[in-house]
Structure 1
């Protein structure tokens, strides 16, 4: 590995005070043997996040956004204020690095054709988090609806989430991966950035990874290094689940023609409706959002292209 590697560690915070001490204490061991600098973009936290950052990480650059601008905007702002780098490490505040993991991830990132490297992630109980994803497709939404995500995910044609545990035992290329822990090469960043800020939250990492793949930069997963992700609450929060569902439609509509986009929307509506009937509050909220023209309307962003089918 090149000794001149410098990693720009970027974190986006929002009322993250309780998470910071453990995150910051993991950075030194996790980045052992690597030159790095930390930049944090704070989305107008109402708690003591900023003061805690300045107390615990006095050498970090803190970018105060002045509003809750979203995850993609925070990443873009943090990278813009970072010093020179050969790679960008995007971290959620609830990630905990394990000793030496980023040095190992840098080695994977330098595999030819790789633009994004992601580690194996475990949850707070030490259980595998299924982080690898296949490109969104109508058949995969339907597979999830009729088979359930766990069973569908074992069949590449029918599942978006890779759920076969055997796939997490060897290094492999994946269409995209969840965005809590991503190491991005400077070459990939310069070719693909910025992240699309029209996705306030969710689908921004999908969009970035798929655009990177389109440009010849693959996402590579490795089980040789791992980190811990305590995970958020999108699966239990109706508002966040609804936003996730709407953004999936918006992203798909940007990348496909109108007919396929309508089919994708209908398949997702079918899946969420079937779960809403079973009394799942997040799915009920998602259904209301999916049938709302206002919620599905495109929000202008840096990669919204006039004339393309878009949400």
Structure 2
């Protein structure tokens, strides 16, 4: 088999049919099967996959987070050459899977990410540079206001023209990622301490540390509705906290403390937004951190 498709769901029944229906055309003749892991949803997502012969459904008795769901799926993967991890709220364009596989074969990349577009067909700025303190400061102070600034001051790769060319990247948002099965197994389980957000940053860093490359191809197009995980204040706060956890894991306590300070400044400069107010509470209150999704599995960073 060419590809095992892994989809982690949580209250995603309304989105999943569109994704599953888009897979045959996206495969472009490549063989595939699907593993859907549901993180203890209440929306009867099992009914969505019932009767689909190529889909294996795995029910978790609790919400394991995105990383935990991927790791659970990894226990039941068929023999395959690639693993394609997808958000449930995607629709894959025709030939998207085959285009990613062809890019991997041609370039020898360990992982391939597609061009992601929003519901209006506009390219999303999904590519990223490795997080550093300077880039975090640039994002905190400038955000989208100076899109053409140097790469050392911007983590997000901005500019539509950039997304028209194939390139090697540090990482990309984890909505869709094709990974060589051998690399997927070698790099090991996804880090469940992040629960949601920064897990793809960490996984891509481990791919690069093992000598692999992440390749972006604009020939594979994926539409992302953005409704699968949502943007609640709690999740915005979790994203901010996980950036500090990531700094702690890879750079130690000193850099993590500086990253924490930058995250606080980032939140203060946007304090009128509910998500940033939640971020500030989480960054400064252990009690608030204990109320976050996945708090029981998270470790590292400032606690």
TM-score (norm 1): 0.90
1:26 corresponds to: 22
Taking the aligned partners of 1:149 and 1:128, their CA distance within structure 2 comes to 15
- Distance of aligned partners of 1:309 and 1:125 in 2 relative to their CA distance in 1, 3 Å threshold: closer
- Distance of aligned partners of 1:150 and 1:105 in 2 relative to their CA distance in 1, 3 Å threshold: farther
For residues 59-70 of structure 1, what are the structure 2 equivalents within 5 Å?
59-70=54-65
How large is the RMSD of aligned CA atoms in angstroms? 2.2
1:115 and 2:110 correspond = yes
2:277 corresponds to: 284
Higher relative contact order (CA 8 A, sep 6+): 2
Taking the aligned partners of 2:220 and 2:69, their CA distance within structure 1 comes to 26
2:47 corresponds to: 51
Cα deviations across residues 132-170 of structure 1 (Å, max 9, x unaligned)? 001111111211122223525642011111112221111
1:259 corresponds to: 254
| Residue number among 183, 186, 192 corresponding to 2:187 in the alignment | 192
Count the aligned residue pairs. 299
- Distance of aligned partners of 1:84 and 1:236 in 2 relative to their CA distance in 1, 3 Å threshold: closer
Q: Which moved more, 1:204-213 or 1:138-147?
A: 138-147
Taking the aligned partners of 1:309 and 1:98, their CA distance within structure 2 comes to 39
1:88 corresponds to: 83
1:183 corresponds to: 178
Deviation at 1:15, TM superposition (A): 1.2
Runs of 5+ consecutive residues of structure 1 not aligned to the other structure: none
2:233 corresponds to: 238
1:205 corresponds to: 200
Taking the aligned partners of 1:98 and 1:132, their CA distance within structure 2 comes to 19
For the 8 Å contact 2:87–2:228, the answer to whether it is kept is no
| Residue number among 12, 28, 35 corresponding to 2:8 in the alignment | 12
TM-score (norm 2): 0.92
Taking the aligned partners of 1:153 and 1:43, their CA distance within structure 2 comes to 40
